[in-house]
């Protein structure tokens, strides 16, 4: 059972968000998928299968707690791992929310950047905003507290400044009890923002880089007039967990109607290996 480990949303080994990719999961028993994920204990692990439709490959994504239909850094990282040997400029990965295309940029033969087209998220007011802000330490949000769903759900909380984001010490138990997957706390101005994302209910107390939240964050900023539609934003994440990450996101359309969401970043392969385990029941 061969795997590749990539650090995603970084150009530097040991930065970004760690990802394990099992490049051919056809012979891996279903009962081993979650234990293998927990063995790595990364935010997510990917298992690759032959395409079921028009894509190049089908992927299943697991956190240490459960399988999830979509996530950003697993899609981007898997694109880096697969597009190289397949000699593709555009790879389409089949996920639990549909086909997600990733366009890669190269310097010579080396892939150096990828652009992922994400599902346009649904948005609504977050009903438990008061409880959420209290669990974050009694903070205030400078924009409406809204939840975005692009296959995963993320609640957006705008803090006063970067220092207030860095000081956050949320009550993880209370966050885990609230009905949302991730809480994205951010601050910034112009095109540069800092963000932290907490998802303790899925075994990820704090994520180093969250591609599935970057697109909704761009949407949130466009919808509330902080940035213009089509404007690239740069996100810094992961400093507090010792894995600095850089994400790029853009929401196209208008404040009234977002029609396209793209998230970009780099990745670097840091390891290859294999598991050799006895057959189940032996």
Q: Which of 57, 45, 115, 52 is nearest to 86 (CA)?
A: 57
Spatial contact of 226 and 267, defined as CB atoms under 8 Å apart: no
> Is 105 a catalytic site residue?
no
Buried b (16+ CB within 10 A) or exposed e, 142-161: ebebbbbbbbbbbbbbbbee
Task: Write out the H or E segment, with its range, that includes residue 186.
Answer: strand 182-189
DSSP 234-266: EEEE-GGGT--EEEEEEEEE-SS-EEEEEEEE-
Q: Please state, as a whole number, how many other Cβ atoms lie within 10 Å of the Cβ of residue 257.
A: 10
Query: Which position among 27, 30, 39, 44 bears the catalytic label?
Result: 44
**Contacts for 163 with CB less than 8 Å, ≥ 6 apart:** none
Residues that are catalytic = 44
């Amino acid at each position: 059972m061969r795997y590749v480990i990539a650090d995603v949303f970084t150009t530097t080994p040991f930065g970004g968000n760690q990802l394990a990719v099992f490049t051919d999961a056809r012979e891996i028993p279903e009962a081993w998928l979650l234990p293998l994920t927990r063995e790595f204990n990364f935010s997510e692990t990917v298992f690759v299968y032959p395409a079921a439709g028009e894509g190049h490959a089908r992927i299943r994504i697991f956190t240490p707690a459960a399988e999830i239909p979509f996530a950003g850094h697993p899609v981007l990282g898997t694109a880096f791992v697969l597009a190289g040997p397949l000699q593709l400029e555009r790879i389409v990965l089949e996920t639990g929310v549909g086909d997600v295309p990733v366009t890669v940029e190269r310097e010579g033969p080396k892939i150096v950047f990828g652009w992922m087209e994400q599902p346009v998220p649904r948005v609504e007011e977050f009903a438990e905003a008061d409880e959420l802000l209290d669990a974050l330490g009694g903070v205030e949000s400078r924009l409406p507290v809204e939840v975005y769903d692009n296959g995963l759900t993320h609640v957006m909380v705008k803090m006063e400044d970067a220092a207030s984001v860095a000081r956050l010490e949320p009550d993880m138990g209370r966050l885990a009890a609230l009905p949302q997957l991730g809480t994205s706390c951010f601050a910034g101005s112009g095109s540069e923002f800092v963000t932290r994302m907490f998802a303790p209910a899925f075994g990820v107390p704090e994520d180093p880089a969250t591609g599935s939240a970057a697109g909704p964050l761009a949407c949130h900023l466009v919808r509330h007039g902080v940035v213009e539609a089509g404007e690239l934003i740069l996100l810094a994440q992961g400093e507090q967990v010792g894995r600095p990450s850089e994400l790029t996101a853009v929401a196209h359309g208008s404040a009234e109607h977002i029609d396209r969401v793209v998230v970009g970043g780099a990745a670097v392969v840091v390891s290859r290996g294999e598991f050799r385990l006895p057959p189940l029941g032996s």
